[in-house]
Amino acid sequence: MKSCGSMLGLRGLRLPPAGILLLLPFLQPRLLPAAPAPHRASYKPVIVVHGLFDSSYSFRHLLEYINETHPGTVVTVLDLFDGRESLRPLWEQVQGFGEAVAPIMAKAPEGVHLICYSQGGLVCRALLSVMDEHNVDSFISLSSPQMGQYGDTDYLKWLFPTSMRSNLYRICYSPWGQEFSICNYWHDPHHDDLYLNASSFLALINGERDHPNATAWRKNFLRVGRLVLIGGPDDGVITPWQSSFFGFYDANETVLEMEEQPVYLRDSFGLKTLLARGAIVRCPMAGISHTAWHSNRTLYEACIEPWLS
């Protein structure tokens, strides 16, 4: 009779002792169902809009930070109106950026986040006003002159070398001047009547001048989930720096904070309503210059990352 080893084709092989064989069923690893993969949160898409004389390349550090802290997030840094093209009238830019963000929003039923830097913050605020069905959760305004600009900067000296802030209104409040983006938000506190009559952009989105779309724009703006305002005293470009928080000069060049501004008191485009529902976050930070806001890691972790749900 053949041995068990022969019948199983094991002739010549050295078998383990019988005691070990008896223990094998208990020594073999048990095959358990694979543990489910840890759930990765699905983050809302992020859309980034650059500022004056910028391009998408300027935001490479911000893109890196988002990828590190929120892996898998779809981030789109819009590459439109770069460099000198950023001087184009802001309504033209609003149209161009609007055509770019609409399909991104359409593919994100749970909403998107906007990070808008400097002049781009005004473009984004206008987008929120004119887009009837936008689904912006967090609008992060990164050192943006939301109440306008009134200061001599290198940008102005390059663009208008023979003008100072005291007489720039002569250019900016003309039809020719309004063809330059920076004049669309030039806000001279000493010539308020001229500003209100001539401003083809800021006075309209602020609701400071009557127009037939004012009610609809306010309703659209209030669709935003959260308004995050970021800026600081060492910016060096935004003047006054409190404009990043909807503060601005009065006729004596004393800064009045947001709650003292007529646009807030009248709730002309929704600021007072947003604040009342707890939807405005203010994040001031010292020690950051204007060109460093989108590359400062500390600022990102404190003021941007918490709102990228």
The total number of structural domains that make up the chain: 1
Could you confirm whether 118 is annotated as catalytic? yes
Once rounded to an integer, what is the mean pLDDT over residues 209-238? Answer: 97
Point out the catalytic residue in the list 118, 141, 143, 199.
118
What is the distance in angstroms between the CA of the first residue and the CA of the last residue of the chain? 75
Say if 198 falls within a structural domain.
no
Say if 40 falls within a structural domain.
no
Say if 288 falls within a structural domain.
yes
In terms of Cβ atoms closer than 10 Å to its own Cβ (0-12, 13-18, 19+), residue 95 is middle
Kindly tell me if the per-residue pLDDT of 39 is higher than 90. no
Say if 129 falls within a structural domain.
yes
Say if 4 falls within a structural domain.
no
CATH number for position 303: 3.40.50.1820
Helix axes 214-221 and 119-130, enclosed angle (nearest 10): 110
Q: For 45-92, write each residue's pLDDT tens digit.
A: 999 999 998 888 899 999 999 999 999 999 999 999 999 999 999 999
Say if 168 falls within a structural domain.
no
Could you confirm whether 290 is annotated as catalytic? yes
Say if 89 falls within a structural domain.
yes
Q: Which of 281, 277, 255, 261 is nearest to 206 (CA)?
A: 261
Point out the catalytic residue in the list 141, 199, 235, 243.
235
Top pLDDT among 297 and 39 is at 297
CA 278 to chain centre: 19
Q: For 19-36, write each residue's pLDDT tens digit.
A: 444 444 444 444 444 444
C-alpha to C-alpha distance for 7 and 57, rounded to whole angstroms: 73
- The predicted model scores a pTM of 0.85
Could you confirm whether 235 is annotated as catalytic? yes
Q: For 106-153, write each residue's pLDDT tens digit.
A: 999 999 999 999 999 999 999 999 999 999 999 999 999 999 999 876
The tokens describing 202, both together, are 């800021």
**Which residue segment(s) compose the domain that 271 sits in?**
46-149+211-307
Say if 125 falls within a structural domain.
yes
